[in-house]
C-alpha cells in the first residue's frame, strides 16, 4: 500500500524527528533526495540549466540546498525569489556552490531551463497562489524543461487535493517521508506527474494514515480452492434493467460473470431477461412483473449471498419496492444508478445491519447528501467521508480518481482509473464486478476497492493491449479484459 498522511500529522512527525536530530539535518535529507531525483532525470548534470523557484518557507530551503548539490556537480543553477523572504542558509549554500540569485530576466531563465525545481510553497499552502507565485507557476508549467515539484506542486492543497486557481503542473513530484492525500486525489493528483517518495526517517513517528492506495500485490480477489463449487464461490443476485434500459442488465451481469461469481442470478422484466439469456447463458434468470413488488419477490429469484440493485431499473414505484426488498434482507447489497436516485428519497432504507455499498458519481452523491455537484468535485475527500458517515455505508465515489470510504477508516484511493472509462455502461460493469466480490466473501470496503482496481486495470488493458497510445473502448471491452486484469494481480501477467 501507499500510505498518505494529512499535513498536521506530517508536521507532528517532523517535529518529533527533528527533536532527535542535529539542527538542519532533516532539511539536508530532503534536499539530498530531491537532488538525487533531479540528477537522475537530467540527461547530464554538468552544464545543465537549472532554475529554482523559491518561496520563503522550508520547501524553498529544500530547493536551495538541492540546487547547491547540483551546482557542485557542474549544473548552472539560478534561483528566482518569490516574495520578500528567502531561506538565508540555503541561499548561502547555493552561492558557495556557484549558483546565483537573479533579480531580472526571470521569464527568460525559466523558459530556457532544462529543469525547474518548484519550491514556491510547501505542504502548508492553502487557497490559490498569489502574485508573483501564480505568475512563476504559469511560466514553469508552460516551459519546455522538466518541472520537479518539491513535496507538493505549489497551488495544490496537500491534505485534500483541492486546487483553487493557478498551480504548478509538475512532471515529477518528490515528496518527503510519506505521501500526502493531495498527491493521490484529483484535481491535485493531475498536477503531480510521477510521484517519487523520499524516505527521510518519519516512519516511526507517523500515526495511522488518512488515505491509502493499493498496489497490485495488495489486491486479492477470492480464488477458488480444491473444495470450491459454484455456491461456495458465491452467488450474486442482480436486479437491473427495464424496458427502457436493457443494456444495463447485460453489462452488470457481464461484470459479475467475469468477476468470479460462482453463479449469477438475474431478475427483471421480460425484455432484459431475454437479452441476458442470449448474451450470458451462464446466468440463471427470472422474469418478474413490471409493477410494485412484495418483499417475497426475492424468494422467486433464489438464494444468493449478495445483491446488486439499480442499474437501469427505473425510479418509479416498482424500482422502489425492489430496493426496499433488497435492503430489508441481511445480505450485503450494492446500490447503483437508478437505485441511488430512489435511495435519495428513501434514506431510511439504509438503517440496516448488513453491509451496503453505494457507488455514486458526483451528481448522484449530491442528491444523496444534499450538496452541490461542483462542491463535491472540488473537495472529493471531504464529501466522501461525510457521505460514509451520514449514510452508514461504504461509499465509492466515482470520478477521475475513485475514492472508497467507510466511517473511521482510512479512505482508499484507486489509482488504476483512466479517462477511457468515461463511456456509457462502464459503471454497470463495476456494479456487477463488486457484487461478485461481495458474494465471494470479501468485506464491503475490500470488495469495493478491489473492484475499482480491477475495473480500472481492465480498462487500461483493453485500451492499450500493446505498447502505444490508448485507444477508445466500450463497456463490453472492459468486461472482456477482466480475466486479464485478474491474472495481472494474481501474478500471471505483467502489469
Q: Are strands 235-239 and 306-309 parallel, antiparallel or unpaired?
A: parallel
Q: Is 229 annotated as a binding residue?
A: no
Q: Is 59 annotated as a binding residue?
A: yes
DSSP H or E stretch at residue 236: strand 235-239
CA-CA-CA-CA torsion for 201, 203, 207, 211, nearest 10 degrees?
110
Q: Is 61 annotated as a binding residue?
A: yes
The contacts of residue 370 (CB under 8 Å, 6+ apart) are: none
Q: What are phi and psi of 138, to 5 degrees?
A: -65, -40
Q: Are strands 284-287 and 306-309 parallel, antiparallel or unpaired?
A: unpaired
Q: Is 186 annotated as a binding residue?
A: no
Q: What are phi and psi of 3, to 5 degrees?
A: -105, 140
SS3 252: helix
Q: Is 126 annotated as a binding residue?
A: yes
Q: Is 253 annotated as a binding residue?
A: no
Whole-angstrom Cα distance, residue 374 to residue 322? 31
Query: What sign has the CA pseudo-torsion 70, 135, 148, 197?
Result: positive
Altogether, the residues listed in the chain come to a count of 495
Task: Spell out where 32-106 has E strands.
Answer: 49-54, 76-81, 100-102
Q: Is 159 annotated as a binding residue?
A: no
Q: Is 306 annotated as a binding residue?
A: no
Nearest to 185 by CA among 208, 215, 158: 158
SS3 4: strand
Q: Is 400 annotated as a binding residue?
A: yes
**Which residues are paired to 76 by β-bridges?**
49
Q: Is 435 annotated as a binding residue?
A: no
Q: Is 171 annotated as a binding residue?
A: no
**Contact criterion met (CB below 8 Å) for 326 and 267:** no
**Contact criterion met (CB below 8 Å) for 310 and 327:** no
Q: Is 128 annotated as a binding residue?
A: yes
Q: Is 124 annotated as a binding residue?
A: yes
Q: Is 85 annotated as a binding residue?
A: no
**Contact criterion met (CB below 8 Å) for 121 and 140:** no
Nearest to 66 by CA among 84, 103, 41: 41
Q: Is 62 annotated as a binding residue?
A: yes
Q: Is 151 annotated as a binding residue?
A: yes
**Contact criterion met (CB below 8 Å) for 292 and 276:** no
Q: Is 291 annotated as a binding residue?
A: no
Angle at 464 between CA 460 and CA 465, to 5 degrees: 105
Binding-site sequence positions: 58-62, 118, 122-128, 151, 154, 248, 312, 361, 398-402, 427-428
Binding-site sequence positions for (6S)-NADPHX: 58-62, 122-128, 151, 248, 312, 361, 428
Binding-site sequence positions for AMP: 398-402, 427
Binding-site sequence positions for K(+): 59, 118, 154
Amino acid at each position: 500500500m501507499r500510505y498518505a498522511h494529512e499535513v498536521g500529522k506530517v508536521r507532528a512527525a517532523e517535529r518529533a524527528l527533528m527533536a532527535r536530530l542535529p539542527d538542519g539535518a532533516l532539511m539536508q535529507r530532503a534536499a539530498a533526495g530531491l537532488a538525487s531525483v533531479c540528477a537522475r532525470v537530467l540527461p547530464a548534470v554538468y552544464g545543465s540549466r537549472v532554475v529554482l523557484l523559491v518561496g520563503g518557507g522550508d520547501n524553498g530551503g529544500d530547493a536551495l540546498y538541492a540546487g547547491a548539490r547540483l551546482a557542485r556537480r557542474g549544473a548552472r543553477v539560478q534561483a528566482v525569489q518569490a516574495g520578500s523572504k528567502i531561506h538565508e542558509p540555503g541561499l548561502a549554500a547555493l552561492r558557495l556552490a556557484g549558483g546565483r540569485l537573479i533579480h531580472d530576466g526571470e521569464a527568460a531563465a525559466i523558459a530556457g531551463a532544462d529543469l525547474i525545481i518548484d519550491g514556491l510553497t510547501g505542504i502548508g499552502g492553502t487557497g490559490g497562489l498569489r502574485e508573483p507565485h501564480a505568475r512563476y507557476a504559469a511560466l514553469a508549467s508552460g516551459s519546455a524543461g522538466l518541472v520537479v515539484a518539491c513535496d507538493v506542486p505549489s497551488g495544490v492543497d496537500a491534505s485534500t487535493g483541492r486546487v483553487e486557481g493557478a498551480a504548478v503542473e509538475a512532471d515529477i513530484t518528490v515528496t518527503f517521508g510519506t505521501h500526502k492525500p493531495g498527491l493521490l486525489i484529483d484535481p491535485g493528483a493531475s498536477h503531480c506527474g510521477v510521484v517519487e517518495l523520499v524516505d527521510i526517517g518519519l516512519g516511526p513517528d507517523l500515526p495511522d494514515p488518512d488515505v491509502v492506495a493499493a498496489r497490485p500485490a495488495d489486491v486479492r480477489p477470492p480464488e477458488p480452492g480444491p473444495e470450491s463449487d459454484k455456491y461456495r464461490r458465491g452467488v450474486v443476485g442482480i436486479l437491473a434493467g427495464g424496458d427502457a434500459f436493457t443494456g444495463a442488465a447485460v453489462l452488470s451481469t457481464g461484470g459479475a460473470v467475469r468477476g468470479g461469481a460462482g453463479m449469477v442470478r438475474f431478475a427483471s422484466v421480460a425484455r432484459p431477461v431475454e437479452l441476458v439469456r442470449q448474451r450470458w447463458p451462464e446466468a440463471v434468470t427470472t422474469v418478474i412483473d413490471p409493477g410494485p413488488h412484495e418483499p417475497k419477490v426475492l424468494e422467486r429469484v433464489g438464494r444468493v449471498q449478495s445483491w446488486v440493485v439499480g442499474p437501469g431499473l427505473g425510479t418509479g414505484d416498482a424500482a422502489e419496492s425492489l430496493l426496499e426488498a433488497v435492503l430489508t434482507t441481511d445480505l450485503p447489497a450494492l446500490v447503483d444508478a437508478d437505485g441511488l436516485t430512489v435511495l435519495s428519497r428513501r434514506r431510511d432504507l439504509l438503517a440496516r445491519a448488513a453491509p451496503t455499498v453505494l457507488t455514486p458519481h458526483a451528481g448522484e452523491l449530491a442528491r444523496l447528501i444534499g450538496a452541490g455537484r461542483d462542491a463535491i468535485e472540488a473537495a472529493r475527500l471531504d464529501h466522501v467521508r461525510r457521505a460514509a458517515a451520514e449514510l452508514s455505508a461504504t461509499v465509492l465515489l466515482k470520478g477521475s480518481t475513485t475514492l472508497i470510504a467507510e466511517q473511521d477508516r482510512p479512505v482508499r484511493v484507486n489509482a488504476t482509473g483512466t479517462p477511457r472509462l468515461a463511456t456509457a455502461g462502464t459503471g454497470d460493469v463495476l456494479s456487477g464486478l463488486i457484487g461478485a466480490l461481495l458474494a465471494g466473501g470479501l468485506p464491503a470496503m475490500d470488495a469495493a476497492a478491489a473492484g475499482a482496481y480491477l475495473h480500472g486495470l481492465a480498462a487500461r488493458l483493453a485500451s492499450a493491449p500493446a505498447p502505444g497510445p490508448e485507444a477508445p473502448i466500450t463497456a463490453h471491452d472492459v468486461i472482456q479484459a477482466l480475466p486479464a486484469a485478474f491474472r495481472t494481480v494474481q501474478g500471471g501477467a505483467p502489469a
